[in-house]
Amino acid sequence: MPKLIGEARAQALASLPEWREADGRDAIVRTFVFADFNQAFGFMTRVALAAEKMDHHPEWSNVYKTVEVTLATHDAGGLTEKDIALARLMDGFARSAPSP
Amino acid sequence: MPKLIGEARAQALASLPEWREADGRDAIVRTFVFADFNQAFGFMTRVALAAEKMDHHPEWSNVYKTVEVTLATHDAGGLTEKDIALARLMDGFARSAPSP
């Protein structure tokens, strides 16, 4: 799985307006805020099942109703299509959760 | 729930040898390493269910098979018996997971 570069990288990032590039490394980050811990951990559980199936896992932290996510592909040393796919999936799960 | 201080705090910490005091705040931290993501997230799920029941939640991050935990009681501005109870519970769940 090659690192995304050039126009392909730019297009992929443009398609994920809620994600931003990480500081100091080739990765993307997003902070999700849910209504409560139940919603936040429910989201994490849906993502965990999908991530395990994809064999591609997020780096993430959780404090009560907030989930901070960093996506990068370790083996590629940067951002790949796997990260874009996982970001899209997380966006979809988050959209289907009740608002904070 | 009052902050733990003095001898009670020292005894509580002595009973949790795998936890250390956080830098720069009144909290305790432990890093758990499991065999894989399945075990790590399984651990997190067991803790999440118990935490919700206790109405006391960890601050934590996960990268593949590693789970880093910080425990403190926000309302008390420091360490309380709730944190000690949650730490014990996490230690117990971790002991019952397969080794890395």
- Taking only the tens place, the pLDDT of each residue in B52-62 is 999 999 999 99
Q: Which long-range contacts (CB under 8 A, 24 or more apart) does A33-36 make?
A: A33/A65, A33/A66, A33/A67, A33/A100, A34/A65, A34/A66, A34/A67, A34/A94, A34/A97, A34/A98, A34/A100, A35/A65, A35/A97, A35/A98, A35/A99, A35/A100, A36/A64, A36/A65
Between A44 and B98, residue with greater pLDDT: A44
Q: What is the pLDDT of residue B97?
A: 82
**Chain A to chain B Cβ contacts (< 8 Å):** 35
A53 to chain B, closest Cα gap in Å: 11
Q: Does the pLDDT of residue B100 top 80, yes or no?
A: no
Report pLDDT for A9: 96
| Reported confidence tier of residue A50, pLDDT bands at 50, 70, 90 | very high
How much is the pLDDT for A97? 82
- pLDDT value for A7: 97
The pLDDT assigned to B37 comes to 97
Higher pLDDT, residue A70 or A100? A70
Contact, A98 vs A65, CB < 8 A? no
Tell whether A36 lies on the interface with B, counting CB pairs under 8 A: no
Average pLDDT, rounded, for chain B: 96
Q: What is the pTM of this model?
A: 0.96
Mean pLDDT of A17-24: 97
Residue B48 with chain A: CB contacts under 8 Å? 37, 41
Q: Residue for token digits 């050039």? A: A6
- Look at residue A1 and tell me whether its pLDDT is greater than 90: no
- Residue-wise pLDDT for A60-85, tens only, equals 999 999 999 999 999 999 999 999 99
Query: Is the confidence metric ipTM above 0.85 for this complex?
Result: yes
Question: Is the model's pLDDT at A87 over the cut of 90?
Answer: yes
* B98 pLDDT more than 80: no
**Which residues in chain B have Cβ-Cβ distances shorter than 8 Å to A59?**
61-63
